[in-house]
Amino acid sequence: MTATTQRLREIGQSLWLDNITRTMLEDGSLRHYRDAFAVTGLTSNPTIFDEAIRGSAAYDAPIRALAQRGLADEALFVELALEDLRRAADEFRAVHAASAGVDGWVSMEVSPLLADDAATTVAAAQAIHARADRPNLFVKIPGTPAGLRAIEDSIFAGIPVNVTLLFSREQYLAAADAWARGIERRIAAGLDPRVASVASVFVSRWDRAVTGRLPGPLERGLGIAIARRCYRAYRERLASPRWRALAAAGASPQRLLWASTGVKDPAEWPGTYVEALAAPDTINTMPEKTLQHVASAGRPAEAMRADGGDAEATIARYAAAGVDVDALAAQLQRDGAAAFVASWRDLLQRIAVKSAALASA
């Protein structure tokens, strides 16, 4: 463990990797990150798998074998991804056990093509979790207005959920309410309330959205301010009577996760978002290059203030410059959902093309 990663662990933040490849599993890189950099989990998405399949021959033999079993399209991808994620989950099983299920998680996306159908999303989430056969696998469901019912129903069904595509305090609170309703329904039904969940707030896309639209000093900082506003809401929920009632019944808190924490500007220090979002009782999932930079930088981080610090003053400056934060949050979520759909379709197309090429080789 390096000085920087040790400091983040002391603050109370979990470090997860926002990446997975079969090569990383086979050459020991993931184990190295776990042991040397204190990485205690990982997240994945369709783009990550698409890039992994495109950039390596490591998936050729597995794709051929799955195709020979009669799998194709989405069914082939899900099984291909689960092969990797089962192995990754096993790498973190000891962490998961030692933390009593708080840490040591991996994540698998439910099809974004189902986003407007809550019942089908829940059924798909149940199928993924059952086929994974690992207690430390989250199913990712977007926290869009259409996804909130699926989140609540999935939690009620006992499926651990990573709520993704959250961009604002209001979106985070809506997702947290959906999780809480699912837990309350389980308590009322006499079921175990310990169903794990994380709420993933995306950060860097805020700054990318305003780049070129505002004066130089305002091109950076909005994403961090929004995250700090979300953190204040998170701390307030953990102090609320509603949460205390859930905790008294045996529930574990839904943790806040920082996503999209790699910088987009090559002139910016790669660990900018990591350093700024060092918050107790949170998770930061970061790209591989960001993790490597942060681990080697040796820059100590200071813990984020529970009240969000200067978040509101910073957001007010953006509002004065003409940024409608609520409207932009809604747009970022819509754009993110559309991008997930596009990535999913690109991934399935890549797998189809590769399957055909391998079959004719």
Asked if 194 contacts 250 with a C-beta cutoff of 8 angstroms, the reply is yes
Round to whole Å and give the CA distance between 332 and 326: 10
Bridge partners for 109 per DSSP? 140
Token pair belonging to 38: 């204190």
Residue 298 has pLDDT above 70, yes or no: no
Q: Which domains does the chain have, with CATH numbers?
A: 3-360 (3.20.20.70)
The Cα diameter of the chain in Å comes to: 63
Which pLDDT does position 1 carry in this prediction?
A: 67
Q: Work out the angle at residue 223's Cα, subtended by the Cα atoms of residues 220 and 224, and round it to the nearest 5 degrees.
A: 90
Residue 324 has pLDDT above 70, yes or no: yes
Which pLDDT does position 260 carry in this prediction?
A: 95
Q: Band of the pLDDT at 56, cuts 50, 70, 90?
A: confident
Single-letter amino acid, residue 61: A
- Give the SS3 label for residue 70: coil
Q: Mean pLDDT of all residues in the chain?
A: 94
Q: Band of the pLDDT at 269, cuts 50, 70, 90?
A: confident
Token pair belonging to 156: 């009620």
- Overall average pLDDT of the 86-113 stretch: 97
Digit-coded pLDDT (tens) for 194-224: 999 999 999 999 999 998 888 777 878 999 9
Task: Lowest mean pLDDT of 39-53, 98-112, 210-224, 282-296, name the range.
Answer: 210-224
Which pLDDT does position 112 carry in this prediction?
A: 94
Extended beta strands in 217-361, E state? 255-259, 282-286
Asked if 167 contacts 202 with a C-beta cutoff of 8 angstroms, the reply is yes
Is the C-alpha dihedral spanning 296, 300, 305, 311 positive or negative?
negative
Q: Band of the pLDDT at 351, cuts 50, 70, 90?
A: very high
Q: Band of the pLDDT at 91, cuts 50, 70, 90?
A: very high
Active site residues: 140
Nearest by Cα to 162 from 254, 67, 230: 254
Nearest by Cα to 202 from 337, 75, 67: 337
